[in-house]
Amino acid sequence: MAMDRLVREGRIWYEPGKMPRYRRYLDEMPGVMLQDIWTDIRPVPAQGGERLNYETQKPEALLERIIKSSSNEADLVLDCFVGSGTTAAVAERLNRRWIVCDLSRFAIHTTRKRLLGISGVKPFVVQNLGKYERQAWQMAEFPGNGENRLQEQRLREAAYRAFILNVHRATPVSGYSWLHGSKGGRMVHVGAVDAPVTLADVKAIGREAWKAIGSNKGAPTKAGVDILGWEFAFELNELAKQVAAESRIDVAFKKIPREVLDRRAVDQGDVRFFELGALSVEMKQKRREVILKLTDFVIPTDDIPEEARQAIKHWSQLIDYWAVDWDFKSDTFHNQWQTYRTRKEPRIELETKHAYPEPGKYTIVVKVIDILGNDTTKTLDVRVE
């Protein structure tokens, strides 16, 4: 009989003094289709490890539901506005491949630290499109209308420099090869979108700046130049300042921020040009073991918000993250060791060591990211026997 079969299969549940009841199992139930209005996911809690105090941060439970419902393990997840990194963190834990992007350097840095905090995180690469992205932006933002390609390029470069000077609140000047504007009595040089500022550039800028001082009504009144650039050659900050000091020219290197690529940030006046930091690293060697110790780090105090400036008692508080590539090959920086601040562990280590397995000459690159989100690098050469 059907009833006997159901009893044998454990489908009938007897409770003393009550009617027998039919037993159904959860894995046999099709469930109810999820609606498109989700009210069961709570906002990011005010307290707890998930909150990063990032303005647009989303709950991990929300991204987990989206990723699980729209992908399988090993699928590729793309987030073009990564923000605080919730998508990347959840995709990593759910064994998905991922690509995330953002124009904000703070978003990229926040995401990097968040991923490094995941136990067993797989290796990942932080990349930018570099000059190719900037060249495409320049072509789109400043179309040339010249009679030929050479004239179009000249017009495009002139429009680009005028735009950067305007964002920097500097006044354009003419009649010079290397000097493009002035601000506060100092001359301003705007670096190209597709090449780093080099030591040779600095020497040429310095020579022209000296000739320009007091030469006409719009000429500079101070022997100083602000050099704006997207990228700077390794060690340029220290080497160039030595050359500039010998020439009695005060040089300040300021990085053109990626935010200028975002028209909304420009329109809102949210773009700031920060001066490059100066990093001091002490290196000790014992056979094949190399010990690195950060001994000083300086960034202009005027760039730091007043509230944060008052709380800083030691130079190390200016550093949020630093990493080492022990065998730099003049290509991609490989993060082979790092230390960074978190809410649970606000302190960072100032010393690290590494033992080389093979003798040879190695190039070490130290990368520091400061509390303003800017990066500073230091290169050291070592030979191990």
Asked if residue 22 is part of any domain, the answer here is no
- Distance of alpha carbon 151 from alpha carbon 157, whole angstroms: 10
Q: Could you tell me if 265 and 169 lie in one domain?
A: yes
Asked if residue 24 is part of any domain, the answer here is no
Q: Could you tell me if 376 and 357 lie in one domain?
A: yes
Asked if residue 1 is part of any domain, the answer here is no
**Which CATH number does the domain housing residue 324 bear?**
2.60.40.10
Task: List the pLDDT tens digit at each of the 385 positions of the chain.
Answer: 677 787 777 888 888 888 888 888 888 877 778 888 898 888 887 776 788 877 888 999 999 999 999 999 999 999 999 999 999 999 999 999 999 999 887 888 889 999 998 989 999 988 877 788 888 888 888 887 767 788 888 889 999 999 999 999 999 998 899 999 999 888 999 999 988 898 889 889 988 888 877 666 555 666 789 999 998 876 676 677 677 777 778 888 999 988 898 888 888 887 889 888 888 999 999 989 999 999 999 887 777 878 888 888 899 999 999 999 999 987 778 889 999 988 888 889 999 999 999 999 999 999 999 988 888 888 899 999 8
Q: Which helix (H) or strand (E) holds 298?
A: strand 289-298
Q: Could you tell me if 198 and 144 lie in one domain?
A: yes
Task: Mark which of 219, 244, 274 sits at the end of a domain.
Answer: 274
**Which CATH number does the domain housing residue 74 bear?**
3.40.50.150
- Which residues fall within 8 angstroms of residue 341, CB to CB, at 6 or more apart? 320, 321, 347, 348
Q: Could you tell me if 118 and 176 lie in one domain?
A: no
Where in the sequence is the domain holding 223, given as residue range(s)?
132-274
Asked if residue 206 is part of any domain, the answer here is yes
3-state secondary structure of 121: coil
- Distance of alpha carbon 179 from alpha carbon 370, whole angstroms: 29
Task: Mark which of 79, 103, 127 sits at the end of a domain.
Answer: 127
Q: Could you tell me if 319 and 211 lie in one domain?
A: no
Task: Mark which of 274, 292, 320 sits at the end of a domain.
Answer: 274
Q: What angle do CA 185, 204, 376 make, to 5 degrees?
A: 80
Q: Could you tell me if 173 and 215 lie in one domain?
A: yes
3-state secondary structure of 329: coil
Structure tokens at 216: 């006409």
